[in-house]
Amino acid sequence: MLQPHSPLQNHLLAALPAAEFNALAAGLELVLMAAGDVLYESGVKQQFVYFPTTAIVSLLYVLEEGVSADIAAVGKEGVVGISLFMGGDTTPNRAVVQSEGHAYRLRGPILKNEFDRAGPLLRVLLRYTQALITQMTQTAICNLHHTVEQQLCRWLLLSLDHLSSDSVLITQQRIANSLGVRRERVAEAAGRLQRAGLISYSRGAIVVLNRPALEEVACECYLVIRKEFDRLLSDVPFR
pLDDT tens track for 27-37? 999 999 998 89
pLDDT value at position 172? 86
Nearest in space to 139 (alpha carbons), one of 78, 180, 94: 180
Q: Which domains does the chain have, with CATH numbers?
A: 7-142+227-233 (2.60.120.10), 147-218 (1.10.10.10)
Asked whether the predicted pLDDT for residue 220 surpasses 50, the reply is yes
pTM of the model: 0.88
3-class SS shares of the chain: helix, strand, coil, % to 5: 45, 20, 30
Asked whether the predicted pLDDT for residue 205 surpasses 60, the reply is yes
pLDDT tens track for 54-111? 999 999 887 766 666 788 999 999 999 998 988 877 888 899 998 889 999 999 999 9
pLDDT tens track for 143-195? 889 999 999 999 999 988 888 778 888 888 888 888 888 999 999 999 999 99
Render 175-238 in DSSP notation, one character per residue.
HHHHHTS-HHHHHHHHHHHHHTTSEEEETTEEEES-HHHHHHHS-THHHHHHHHHHHHHTTS--
Q: What is the mean pLDDT of the chain?
A: 88
How far apart, in Å, are the Cα atoms of 212 and each of 28, 129, 163, 201, 208? 37, 28, 17, 18, 10
Contact assessment for residue 209 and residue 200, using Cβ atoms and an 8 Å cutoff = yes
pLDDT tens track for 88-100? 778 888 999 988 8
